[in-house]
A and B are shown apart, each in its own frame.
Chain A
Amino acid sequence: MVITRRVEFSASHTCSSPALSAEENRAVYGAAANPHGHGHNYVLEVSLQGEPDPVTGMVLDLKLLKDILNREVVDPYDHRFLNYEVPPFDRVVPTSENIARDIWNRLRPHFTTGPRLHSVRLYETPDLYVDYRGE
C-alpha cells in the first residue's frame, strides 16, 4: 500500500551552470537563467510504501510524516533563495530534478526500518512535475 502526504513551500532560485557561459545558460534554461532569480510555489508529494500495522491500521502515523517533512524540507526550503541559502544548491543547479533528489536524500535516512520511501513528486508549477524514486 502506498500513502502520500502533500506539503508546500515557496522558494526562489536561478538556474545556471558554472560550467556554461552566460549565453549557453540562457539557451539551456531560458527565463530561469535570470541571475536575479525568480520563485515558485512548489508542491511536494511524498509517498511511502508499507503494510498497515495490524493494531493501529496505519502504514505510518501521517502526523509523524508531516513532522519529518516540515523539519527536513519545509523549514530549510520555505521562503528561501535556494542558491544562496540552501546547500547543496550553492554548487548544484536547483533544477526540479536536483531538488527532488535532494529531498529524497534528506528523507531517506528516516525510512530505513518500517515503511519504505516510495517516491517524491515535486511540482514546480501545476504544469510541470518530476517524479524520483531513488534509482
Chain B
Amino acid sequence: MFYVTRRYQLAASHRLHAPQLGADQNRQLYGKCNNPFGHGHNYVVEVSARGPLDPSTGRAVDTAALDALVERQVLEAFDHRNLNIEVAAFRSLVPTSENLGLEIFRRLEENWSQVFPGEWPKLEKVRIAETPRNIFEVSAKL
C-alpha cells in the first residue's frame, strides 16, 4: 500500500464568530480572530490518498487527476475568498481550521468517484496548516 501526498496552498480570509455567543464571549474565546473585519492566512493543504500500485503505470495515484479534483472542489471555492461570506458551508458554521478541514474532506470524498471511479485509490487524509505553527488533520474513518 502506498500513501501519496500532494501539497497545495490557498490564501483566504475569515472571521471566527459564533452566533450563539454574545459579543464579549466571542472576543474572549477567539481573541484577535474575532476582529469583525476578518483576517487571512496562507493555508497549506496536504491531501493524501492511499492505494496499491497499478502494475501498468507503476503508480498508486494519478496526481494529475487529484490536482484537477482539488482545483475544482477546493482551490476554486476557497482560494482568495472570504470564507464566511463566499463559502455556503460557513454562513452557519464558524470557519475554524477544524471546520475547514472537515469541509475540504467532505467535498473531496463526495466528488472522489468523478476522478477515481475504481476501488482504489481512496482518500486518506487532509492536513491543514493554518500557519506553520497550527496544524489540523482529518483522516478517513476506518
* Partner-B contacts on A (CB < 8 A): 15, 17, 19-20, 28-30, 92-98, 100-101, 126-133, 135
Contact = CB atoms under 8 A, between A and B. Distances in A.
A97 B58 contact: yes
B59 interface: yes
A133 B1 contact: yes
B140 interface: no
Contacts of B5: 128-131
Nearest to A96: B4
Contact of B7 (A96, A128, A130): A128
Interface of B: 1-8, 53, 56-60, 62-64
Select the residue from A15, A20, A28 with max chain B CB neighbours within 10 A: A28
Contacts of A126: 7
Select the residue from B2, B5, B6, B8 with max chain A CB neighbours within 10 A: B2
Contacts of B7: 126-128
Contact of A130 (B2, B57, B64): B2
Contact of A98 (B8, B53, B63): B53
A33 to B, nearest CB: 11
A95 B57 contact: yes
Contacts of A130: 2-5, 60
A125 B60 CA distance: 17
Contacts of B59: 95, 97
